[in-house]
Amino acid sequence: MLADPFVKVVMKMSYCGTLMRLEPNHSQHTAMPASVLIVEDEPEIRELLEFTLSRAGYEVIPAATAESAVSILQNGQGVPDLAILDWMLPGQSGVELARRLRRDPDTQHLPTLMLTARGEEADKLKSFESGVDDYVTKPFSPRELVARVKALLRRTGIPEDSILVMQGIRLDLNSHRITIDGDAVHIGPTEFRLLELLMRHPDRAFDRSTLLDRVWGRSVYVEERTVDVHVLRLRKILARHKLDHLIQTVRGIGYRFAAGT
């Protein structure tokens, strides 16, 4: 929420000469693009953010309040790859929402970027202390925002293009093909999605409930032991290339892709 109307005018003026010159990033148009949750109550700014990030190739999930954002996270759409939070939201603030996300096991690793007109050092410190990963002040450059989003996703293991390569495994997200050391690998669609998710977040431990939400979707009822069955199938496929050790069991939690082994 912007308290000063003049700031809104300046922002609109700064966007006018910039947005239409943004070129779409075709490398982002993958079979499974990175998703960005935008929590912004000002309709004009939210639309600008949607336009900017959609043009850059991201899947955009808009929300006007912290409460609606939490509802989205809990009701069928799963956890996005990144969240952009406005500080001055009606009801629960962006800072409070960031703390809430960090307390929730499903979203505690979600990369977050605070977008606000509050640029004082004390505000930035408070924001970072709440668990936010980056901070951008309004008015802002759309190009800089996209660059910040890309950098944040890189740091958290989200790919910028349609190819994922790790430990000799190459996933082509456009053709849904996998090769290991150049050899084609036959794999089922569920195992493909499972491996893609784990490789997108190397060394991050996922519990079974989160894997169900991200791979099968919250609208589908599947027992948690189904995850174990598909992990076993994936390991058998990787074992043919002596890479089954990359899918590690995290005792008491679930599974992770061990990028460093």
What pLDDT shows up at residue 194? 94
Pairing of strands 35-39, 82-86: parallel
Q: Residues 6 or more apart from 233 whose CB is under 8 A from it?
A: 188, 191
Please check whether residue 97 is in contact with residue 85, taking contact to mean a CB–CB distance below 8 angstroms: yes
The answer to whether the bond into 105 is cis (omega within 30° of 0) is: no
Please check whether residue 113 is in contact with residue 133, taking contact to mean a CB–CB distance below 8 angstroms: yes
Query: Which of 121, 138, 155 is the endpoint of a domain?
Result: 155
Q: Are residues 78 and 207 in the same domain?
A: no
**204/60 Cα distance (integer angstroms):** 23
Q: Are residues 140 and 224 in the same domain?
A: no
**2/41 Cα distance (integer angstroms):** 9
Please check whether residue 218 is in contact with residue 73, taking contact to mean a CB–CB distance below 8 angstroms: no
**212/226 Cα distance (integer angstroms):** 9
Q: Are residues 136 and 90 in the same domain?
A: yes
Q: Residues 6 or more apart from 218 whose CB is under 8 A from it?
A: 75, 76, 77, 78, 212
Sign of the Cα pseudo-torsion (137, 117, 25, 110, in order): positive
Query: Which of 155, 186, 220 is the endpoint of a domain?
Result: 155
Q: Are residues 17 and 111 in the same domain?
A: yes
Q: Are residues 58 and 102 in the same domain?
A: yes
Please check whether residue 91 is in contact with residue 64, taking contact to mean a CB–CB distance below 8 angstroms: no
pTM: 0.54
Q: Are residues 110 and 173 in the same domain?
A: no
The token pair at 135 is 């901070």
Q: Are residues 92 and 171 in the same domain?
A: no
Q: Average pLDDT across each block of 10 residues of the chain; the chain has 261 residues. List them in order.
A: 43 43 36 79 92 87 92 73 90 90 82 82 77 84 89 71 82 84 90 91 87 75 86 96 95 88 61
What pLDDT shows up at residue 3? 44
**Full domain range(s) for residue 177:** 163-257
Q: Are residues 138 and 37 in the same domain?
A: yes
What pLDDT shows up at residue 18? 42
Number of domains in the chain: 2
Judged by DSSP in three states, 51 sits in helix
**198/231 Cα distance (integer angstroms):** 11
Strand partners of residue 257: 247
What pLDDT shows up at residue 4? 47
Scan for tokens 């952009």, then name that residue: 84
CATH number of the domain within which 230 lies: 1.10.10.10
